[in-house]
Amino acid sequence: MLLPTGALVLEPTADGSMTLFSEDFGEWFHSRQGAYTEAKATYVETTDLPTLALAPTLRVLDVCYGLGYNTAAALTAVAQVNPTCQVRLIALELDPRVPRQAVEADLIGGWPAPVQDCLRELAATGQATRPGLNATLLWGDARQRIQQVEALGFQADVIFFDPFSPPHCPELWTVEFFQRVAACLHPQGRLATYSCAAAVRAALRLAGLAIGPMNAAGRRWPGTLAQVSPGGLAPLSLQEQEHLLTRAAIPYRDPTLKDTAAAIRQRRQREQAGSDLVPTSRWRKRWLPPHEKNPAAR
């Protein structure tokens, strides 16, 4: 996979924290309602990480580290609730420019000083080790790096799953990638993502995970919480269940974990064109007011 080379444009968000816009992916890195808020609310609170951090150890997998905000929010929460917790964190990121720009432009200045130090070390060397923390940032395509994580036998208590949206980055929302990610999730662990796209939820199920809705800060639609067993998950509403019966629920596939985004999109379009499932337009007509955007995209 080619490294992105397009501009990364700074953009303020509503809570005062900064995000970036990626020219390559045509998308912002965070909800424009608040980047720090999203990290804390959508990833740390929904996974109940502060409670999990009361245990002696905590394993976190941050898929798409980006500016490091989700990692920062996690480390901040652990320091608040249980500074003696031993944290093992693995993060995956394709583009080394992103965490470095976050450091150089001081976008991380709102996190506590010890957390900023970790983010600086991770951006510079890919490793931050200190008493209570062993953090590794693995550079490269997450589709390959996840196989390394799996080979380590890593079993995450919490997975932050935060790629660009499925239409813009389909390669990280496929059944095959979720299978590898699910293999790195502890049987009692939780995966959180901002997406409620039917294709994403269907792929999570096909990867063997149970799913439920969760609050996604600054977004109009709920996110998704996924676990090995369904205990404790909120039920999907009728609207969400019916969404999963439409063509929007045909998942992205990438059998070799090496296809281009265009090939993955085309494969899904072909499958949708030949499908007997209900057209998504029928579901939209039943559930969404006219002119409402389709949540399938996010």
Ligand X SMILES: C[S@@+](CC[C@H](N)C(=O)[O-])C[C@H]1O[C@@H](n2cnc3c(N)ncnc32)[C@H](O)[C@@H]1O
Q: Which of 31, 59, 66, 247 binds ligand X (CB under 6 A)?
A: 66
Q: Is residue 89 close enough to count as binding ligand X by CB under 6 A? A: no
Q: How many CB atoms lie within 10 A of CB 113?
A: 7
State the minimum distance, in angstroms, from the CB of residue 181 to ligand X: 12
State the minimum distance, in angstroms, from the CB of residue 216 to ligand X: 13
Is residue 288 a contact partner of residue 246, using CB atoms and an 8 Å limit? no
Q: Is residue 94 close enough to count as binding ligand X by CB under 6 A? A: yes
* Spatial separation of the C-alpha atoms in residues 39 and 131, rounded to whole Å: 24
Q: Which of 1, 105, 206, 261 binds ligand X (CB under 6 A)?
A: 1
Residues 6+ apart with CB under 8 A from 30: 13, 19, 38, 39, 69
* Spatial separation of the C-alpha atoms in residues 250 and 199, rounded to whole Å: 5
Closest to ligand X by CB, 168 vs 186, is 168
Binding residues for ligand X, how many (CB under 6 A)? 21
Residues 6+ apart with CB under 8 A from 229: 187, 210
Q: Which of 39, 60, 103, 216 binds ligand X (CB under 6 A)?
A: 39
Q: Which of 74, 77, 78, 98 binds ligand X (CB under 6 A)?
A: 98
State the minimum distance, in angstroms, from the CB of residue 255 to ligand X: 16
Closest to ligand X by CB, 121 vs 141, is 141
Which residue has 């239409």 as its token pair? 167
Surface-to-core class of residue 189, CB atoms within 10 Å of its CB (0-12 exposed, 13-18 middle, 19+ buried) = buried
Is residue 98 a contact partner of residue 164, using CB atoms and an 8 Å limit? no
3-state SS class at 277: coil
Closest to ligand X by CB, 221 vs 283, is 221
Closest to ligand X by CB, 39 vs 296, is 39
3-state SS class at 127: strand
Closest to ligand X by CB, 162 vs 259, is 162
Per-residue tokens: 127: 């490793």
**Contact positions with ligand X (CB under 6 A) in 146-175:** 162-164, 169, 171-172
* Spatial separation of the C-alpha atoms in residues 78 and 88, rounded to whole Å: 12
State the minimum distance, in angstroms, from the CB of residue 269 to ligand X: 21
State the minimum distance, in angstroms, from the CB of residue 241 to ligand X: 27
Instruction: Annotate 169-224 with DSSP letters as a single string.
Output: -GGGSBHHHHHHHHTTEEEEEEEEES---HHHHHHHHHTT-EEEEE--TT-SS-EE
Q: Is residue 95 close enough to count as binding ligand X by CB under 6 A? A: yes
**Contact positions with ligand X (CB under 6 A) in 104-143:** 141-142
* Spatial separation of the C-alpha atoms in residues 8 and 95, rounded to whole Å: 11
One character per residue 171-210, x = contact with ligand X (rule: CB under 6 A): xx--------------------------------------
Q: Is residue 70 close enough to count as binding ligand X by CB under 6 A? A: yes
State the minimum distance, in angstroms, from the CB of residue 132 to ligand X: 22
Q: Stretches 9-17, 64-72, 79-87, 123-131: which one binds ligand X (CB under 6 A)?
A: 64-72
Contact set with ligand X (CB under 6 A): 1, 29, 39, 64, 66-67, 69-70, 92-95, 98, 141-142, 162-164, 169, 171-172
